[in-house]
Homo-oligomer: A and B are copies of this chain.
């Protein structure tokens, strides 16, 4: 019987997958989904990995994944391993498509007969995918490029949320709940300030309020990057909290700014920037700690949550890991069907029974590159010192479920690709 829907498969060839940008606890789950998905596609022969993203590729650092990831146990261990198993980079490709870097990259694609490229990354990495796709259209070489989302920051537009974000806020909420419990045991007045990642958006800091929904200890005040930070109001807020109980816990985004647009973090003064032109930040919490010592005079401690926020593989959200595998597999199928220049995103299903589920949609990667999704104003309270319950209800499904990770001698077993 003739199948009307059967379309000719695009060119048969090899695929390559790369990881880029900051690591997350779920980026390898997406890698697992990509590899698994690609292996189901008839027109994909071999699956390669670029070591250290596009930068490694330019240096010819390519691995054949055929022997690296083989069994179901391999896939599972990879899904439970934080950070980027293929390594990462922070390289930004030039805007000028006439730059000699592009023929160099495509020469390597030719060398390995690469016809499908999947690039897993955040905002800056989507820019890379977008440029590769644009250059491919100009070059006389049939290739399909796909941007696969990951970022703990949850700041990509179009998508309901980003893979990796759920595990990050599960860890942040859990840790802030524990810190609040720890701080509650003394009768002496004390303020604890927890600094959470988030340069431009406060999604991660909002996670510090999540235990509130379950009646657990959590941050009493939450200052997200979206609000205009005012030192006088801050001191008023803290004093008010100290009237209620001796121990106050405060969560702040690293990127909180005052009315004049200046970062509260001290190191803004140094003027140093990272490779993407972002200002290098450190110490919003330290500045506020000094402020409280000076203006209130009580005991004060600041805690920078630092790297564990993005690599705490021992505290994964099952929902996040499952979705991260799903988006990887969906992208594999999508690119192998001959789509190029696209980006995958989550749509939150509108289920009649109110239950939570997501579907995967696709749009041109150029629609999302170099844009930032911030917390909408209605999710922040009027005073600007906390997030609303509505936001927490929106976040809660993303942290549900725990993952039993492989353990040996009392410690996690991480999967490596050499």
A-side residues, CB < 8 A to B, are: 19, 23, 52, 55-56, 81-84, 87-90, 170, 173-175, 177-179, 181-187, 192, 210-211, 213-214, 216-217, 301, 303-304, 306-308, 310-315, 317, 396, 399-402, 407-414
| Shortest beta-carbon distance from A283 to chain B in Å | 10
Cα separation A20 to B312 with both chains bound (whole Å): 30
Q: Choose from B84, B213, B304 the contact partner of A304 (Cβ within 8 Å).
A: B304
Which residues of chain B come closer than 8 Å to A409, judged between CB atoms?
Answer: 213-214, 396, 399-400
**Selected contact of A402 from candidates B89, B312, B407, CB within 8 Å:** B407
Q: Is the CB of A317 within 8 A of B410?
A: yes
Q: Which of B19, B185, B187, B400 contacts A23 (CB 8 A)?
A: B185
Asked whether A90 lies within 8 Å of B186 as measured between CB atoms, the reply is yes
CA distance in complex: A177, B412 (Å): 8
The 9 closest A-B pairs by CB, nearest first: A399-B410, A182-B311, A88-B185, A400-B410, A84-B185, A83-B181, A83-B182, A303-B306, A178-B311
Given contacts A173-B411, A187-B56, A410-B399, contact A310 B182 (CB under 8 A): yes
**Chain B CB within 10 A, most for which of A83, A178, A303, A315:** A178
- Do the beta carbons of A175 and B308 come within 8 Å of each other? yes
Q: Is the CB of B410 within 8 A of A170?
A: yes
In the assembled complex, the Cα of A181 lies from the Cα of B415 at a distance in Å of 10
Q: Are B174 and A314 touching (Cβ within 8 A)?
A: yes
Judging by beta carbons under 8 Å apart, are A88 and B186 in contact? yes
Of all chain B residues, the one with the shortest Cβ separation from A59 is B187
Q: Give Cα A35 to B247, complex, Å.
A: 27
Given A178-B313, A399-B410, 4 other A-B contacts at CB below 8 A? A52-B185, A211-B411, A213-B409, A303-B304
A393 to chain B, nearest CB (A): 10
Q: Are A87 and B186 in contact (CB under 8 A)?
A: yes
Are B310 and A414 within 8 A (Cβ)?
A: no
In the assembled complex, 7 residue pairs joining A and B whose CB atoms fall closer than 8 Å, in A order, are A87-B187, A88-B185, A174-B412, A177-B412, A178-B313, A216-B413, A303-B306
A52 to chain B: which residues have CB within 8 Å? 185-187
Residues of chain B within 8 A of A414, CB atoms compared? 177, 181, 216-217
Residues of B within 8 A of A55 (CB): 187
A313 to chain B: closest residue by CB: B178
- In the bound complex, CA of A169 to CA of B183 (Å): 20
Smallest CB separation, A215 vs chain B (Å): 9
Task: Determine the chain B residues whose CB is within 8 A of the CB of A311 once the complex forms.
Answer: 178-179, 181-182
Distance of A52 from chain B, by nearest CB (Å): 5
Across-interface contacts of A304 in B (CB, < 8 A): 303-304, 306
Q: How far is the CB of A352 from chain B (nearest CB, A)?
A: 22
**How far is A9 from B59 in the complex, measured between Cα atoms in Å?**
80
A19, A52, A187: residue with the most chain B Cβ atoms closer than 10 Å: A187
In the complex, the chain B residue whose C-beta lies closest to that of A85 is B185
Residue of B nearest to A19 (CB): B185
Question: Which of B23, B170, B182, B317 contacts A307, CB < 8 Å?
Answer: B182
Decide: B182 and A82 in contact? CB cutoff 8 A: yes
Return A155 CB to nearest CB of chain B, in Å: 20
- A303-B307 in contact (CB<8A): yes
A188 to chain B, nearest CB (A): 8
Q: What's the least CB distance linking A197 to chain B, in Å?
A: 13
B residues in contact with A177, CB < 8 Å: 411-412, 414
The docked-state distance in angstroms from the alpha carbon of A179 to that of B83 is 9
B411 near A174: Cβ-Cβ < 8 Å: yes
Give chain B residues whose Cβ lies under 8 Å from the Cβ of A81. 181
- Determine the chain B residues whose CB is within 8 A of the CB of A179 once the complex forms: 307-308, 311
Across the two chains, which residue of chain B brings its CB closest to A318?
B410
A23 to B325, alpha carbons, bound, how many Å? 38
In the complex, are the beta carbons of B303 and A187 less than 8 A apart?
Answer: no
